[in-house]
Amino acid sequence: MGAKARPLRGFVHKGAPAVFPGLAVEWLRRYAGRLASAPLWSETRSARIDQSLLKSPQTPSSCRLRLRLILERNPCTRLFQQETRAWDCVKHLNYIRACTLKNAEMSIEPRILNLGDSAVTIEYGHVVDAKLHRRVMGLNTAVSAALAQGTLSGVTETVPTIRSLTIYFDSPRVRRADILAQLEPLIEAAGEAQLSGRRWRLPVCYEDDCAPDIQAVSERTGLSRTRVAELHGSARYTVFMLGFMPGFGFLGGLPEDLAMPRLTSPRTRVPARSVAITGQLCAIYPAESPGGWRLIGRTPIEMFEAHQGDSPCLLAPGDTVQFTPVPRAEFDALRAEVKSGAFARERLIAADGAA
């Protein structure tokens, strides 16, 4: 006889206030309670519980896709056998909570967080969402304008992300309290930015050697490989932020049907210029590096070029991107042109030039 199930009701309840606020707490408690009620961790019993959750009208529809991905990747019979596995599932379910409470999260007041002795972070929420990003960029614009007008002093740098803005200041010269006093009216008055970045059209090859994960994405989504490429290329993506490495843009706007978890075992070498997806995001790896995103294509265009002076990164926050499928022969021709130095970036900007 197998080991008795480890009760999780207390574990989830204890962590719920911090990790699962609002409605998702109740949904998760019902989920954990049903799992904990199983006397033995049998494959049959767990499968029946999992399927009932997926089909239940009480399970938020926005949670079902993510729950299905969780169960495919790591069935509950394994997830809940050990506390470490239970916490792994909690991290995934936190993503569900974020999706479920998206509208509520976007209406919360911004939080001011201390970041060391020379920076503060203004946090607007906990989800990947274009509306939150516009609020971040709105504050970033307001801070930049105040610096230019001389009504804000002591700030040395701002770093916008998907859901927050970090503001660095000259701590020996100005006190944190003074910075916060100057920032308070800007935070209260800042609205959503009307992004007017460049609009890029980037060529992508979706053929086999350029897209090692496109078949797996096709199988998991139930879409044909051609449809995966079409769906990916039909979306317009917003560059939320740059991070991870120079020129690595986090692009929001991935179609929901293409939402994928990261690879269970990340690759040690991802080819440069690989087009990748995970969760709600898309990205292009500027250089060869380790990575756990799903690779569904490759572009011949460089994302980072040090010789480009003040603009070494092709993409910038606020830009938009659309991908144009190209056959391998055209990919090779464009790549040769880029390597020769004859290719001009301006060719990639759409006719209207702005998002």
DSSP state of 5: P
Q: Cα separation of 170 and 146, whole Å?
A: 16
pLDDT at 350 over 70: yes
Greater pLDDT, 11 or 4: 4
Which is more confident, 33 or 185?
A: 185
Helix segments in 37-129, DSSP class H:
43-55, 61-73, 76-79, 83-100, 102-106
Per-residue pLDDT, 23: 43
pLDDT for the residue 180: 93
User: What was the pLDDT predicted at 65?
Assistant: 53
Q: pLDDT > 90: what percent of the chain?
A: 57
Whether the pLDDT of residue 302 is over 50: the answer is: yes
Instruction: Give the per-residue pLDDT at 293.
Output: 97
Look at residue 114 and tell me whether its pLDDT is greater than 70.
yes
Rounded mean pLDDT, 184-193: 91
pLDDT tens digits, one per residue of 138-178: 999 999 999 999 999 999 999 999 999 999 999 888 999 99
d(CA 165, CA 178): 18
Q: What pLDDT does residue 47 have?
A: 41
∠ CA 46-48-50, nearest 5°, is 65
Selected residue with higher pLDDT from 231 and 22? 231
Q: What is the mean pLDDT of residues 289-304?
A: 97
Which amino acid would we find at residue 59? Answer: T
Strands 119-123 and 289-291: unpaired
Is the pLDDT reported for residue 210 higher than 70?
Answer: yes
pLDDT at 26: 47
pTM score, whole prediction:
0.68
Is the backbone of residue 22 left (phi > 0), alpha (psi -120 to 50) or beta? left
Total Cβ atoms within 10 A of residue 163: 22
Degrees, nearest 5: CA angle 208-209-212: 70
**What confidence score (pLDDT) does residue 14 get?**
34
SS3 179: helix
Instruction: Pull the structure tokens for residue 242.
Output: 């740059």
Structural domains of the chain in order of their starting residue, each with its CATH number = 9-100 (no CATH), 111-189 (3.30.1360.40), 198-354 (2.40.100.10)
pLDDT tier at 67, thresholds 50, 70, 90: low
d(CA 69, CA 86): 16
**CB neighbour list of residue 294: distance below 8 Å, 6 or more residues apart:** 213, 216, 217, 260, 262, 263, 276, 277, 278
User: What's the rounded Cα separation, in Å, for the pair 102 and 331?
Assistant: 39
Residue 309 is predicted with a pLDDT of 85
Task: Answer whether residue 266 shows pLDDT above 90.
Answer: yes
Task: Assess whether pLDDT exceeds 60 at residue 264.
Answer: yes
